[in-house]
Amino acid sequence: MKLSGEIALASGFIFDYSNMINTDTITPAVIETLESKAKDAADALLLIREQGMAKAHLSKDGTPEHVLFTKLPFVQNGNPNTPESIAKLKQFGSYLQQEIDAVVFLGVGGSYLGNKVLFDIFAGSGWNVGCEKSRHGYPRVYFSGNNLDVDQYSEVMDEVEYLATHRLGKNEQFRVLLVPISKSGTTLETLAAFSYFYEQCQKSSLLQMEVAVVTDLDEDISPLYNLAKENVWQCFEIKEGIGGRFCIFSDPGLITAAAIGMDIDAFLCGARDMENACQSASLGENPALLNAVLKYAAAEKGVDIEVFMPYAAKMKSVGEWYVQLLAESLGKRKDREGNVVYYGRTPVSAVGSTDMHAQTQQHQDGKKDKVIQFVEILEREQQIVLNNPFTHISSLKKYDGLSVDHALKIALAANEEALNSDGRLNAKYILPRIDEYYLGQLLYFLMLSVAYEGELADVDAYDQPGVETYKQIMKQKMSHQ
């Protein structure tokens, strides 16, 4: 088996793994010993694709549960995303564009992290302070319910009331849409925030409130759905077989895409092309499988920390989303045979070049127990070339004519070279640009990589039994308050 050091897809997406092999940790010989395991992992994913079931996977109630994330990129009847469901989202986005002044999304975990990724990349920090024209009529967007934090509640509510007081909306009365997102319809953080905002909006004479819910559309499961039926609120569905950390390509994530006018079709197309590119059992032809094998090989050598480090400030939330994906999917006490294995890596979110002035000291000089994953964006929509206004200071002359983006690329290259000089594992995902299509490719690639690694390690990548321990303790404590 010959590994070239990178896999370049026809789309332009590149997985550069050259700094993961030929080191003291992972040699070509090590990879060769894992080829049989890799084939088994590919076969297991094929079974998930065909049957929607993963080996030994059960719901938290101990009943068989589907695994359907591989069907999300394909919009067709019988899949989680159907032509009707996507059309409904787009119509919802058009309604918000015409009628709603502010949306408050209320969710935690997978019901928040993916939404924040989409907002940060395609709306950004200036979205809410810009004029309506700059948003093409789409509403201001706020997030809450991702923590039990009274200050966060108050800050969002104060801002909405300020906008209403100063008539900074498109309507005579400021129209606010609350969107609680919870599969069970009982999530503490989500329902606490929803209760607060619902009551505050009801009491305000300045606000006209509407509600849309995203939940399981089973009245025996979700009290939130029962509330929606009772009050005739619009409903979007969290489908069975789609775990929170995999839901960004379905209603719970796409509802934010609709609210900011994102190109949903391009986003799903990116995921679909990545799915089609990652089905081979050959490591040289399947970047997600190879990524999983390299991470698994590193884990076998004692690497138990993974740093996700995009060189783009607005991709910080991608790292935060990936923290959940990696930690919940692979952090497992037992394998699927019931053996205690304590598998997984501690995920760390970083941003280049910011964290070169913080975390890189540990990456470079600390224990060799880390793999660093870079993300590089080849082309930026905007370019800034500096002029030096302080010509009399000789030490600042080097900044005259400097391209800021080129400097960022130099910083990434320097970080790579420094790590390589000490045999420290690192790899790079390269995107031609950051748009809906390529974000779809990257996020889906990461999902598949985690799924393949779960098969290699023989752990259930689709459950999270560890969180049930604190939930039971918390539930008991809450009952005695």
CB neighbours of residue 367 within 10 Å: 10
- The proportion of the chain whose per-residue pLDDT surpasses 90, expressed as a percent, equals 93
The token duo for 220 is 């025996």
CB neighbours of residue 302 within 10 Å: 10
Catalytic residue among 55, 60, 471, 475: 471
Quote the pLDDT of residue 157.
98
Confidence of residue 480 (pLDDT cuts 50, 70, 90): confident
pLDDT tops 90 at residue 359: yes
Catalytic residue among 65, 328, 436, 453: 328
Quote the pLDDT of residue 13.
99
Would residue 471 show up in a list of annotated catalytic residues for this protein? yes
Tokens 């089973």 locate to 218
Q: Where in the sequence of the chain do the CATH 3.40.50.10490 domains occur?
A: 6-59+280-462, 69-262
Quote the pLDDT of residue 229.
97
pLDDT tops 90 at residue 481: no
For domain 6-59+280-462, the question of CATH label 3.30.465.10 is answered with no
- 3-state SS class at 475: helix
Would residue 328 show up in a list of annotated catalytic residues for this protein? yes
Mean pLDDT, rounded, for 447-467: 98
pLDDT tops 80 at residue 267: yes
% helix, strand, coil for the chain, step of 5: 50, 15, 35
CB neighbours of residue 109 within 10 Å: 22
Quote the pLDDT of residue 60.
87
pLDDT tops 80 at residue 81: yes
DSSP secondary structure code for residue 133 in this structure? G
Render pLDDT for 408-418 as a digit per residue (tens, 0 to 9): 999 999 999 99
Render pLDDT for 290-344 as a digit per residue (tens, 0 to 9): 999 999 999 999 999 999 999 999 999 999 999 999 999 999 999 999 999 999 9
Over the chain, what is the mean pLDDT?
Answer: 97
- 3-state SS class at 440: helix
Confidence of residue 67 (pLDDT cuts 50, 70, 90): very high
Mean pLDDT, rounded, for 47-73: 96
**DSSP string covering 20-71, please?**
TSSSSS--HHHHHHTHHHHHHHHHHHHHHHHHS--TT-B-TTSSB----GGG
Mean pLDDT, rounded, for 423-444: 98
Quote the pLDDT of residue 479.
86
This prediction has a pTM of: 0.97
Cα–Cα separations (whole angstroms), residue 187 to 50, 59, 322:
32, 17, 21
Mean pLDDT, rounded, for 65-84: 98
Render pLDDT for 371-418 as a digit per residue (tens, 0 to 9): 999 999 999 999 999 998 998 999 999 999 999 999 999 999 999 999
Quote the pLDDT of residue 113.
98
Quote the pLDDT of residue 442.
99
pLDDT tops 90 at residue 23: no
Is the bond into 353 cis (omega within 30 degrees of 0)?
yes
Render pLDDT for 238-265 as a digit per residue (tens, 0 to 9): 999 999 999 999 999 999 999 999 999 9
Q: Which fold has domain 69-262?
A: Rossmann fold (3.40.50)
Would residue 406 show up in a list of annotated catalytic residues for this protein? no
Catalytic residue among 136, 357, 477, 480: 357
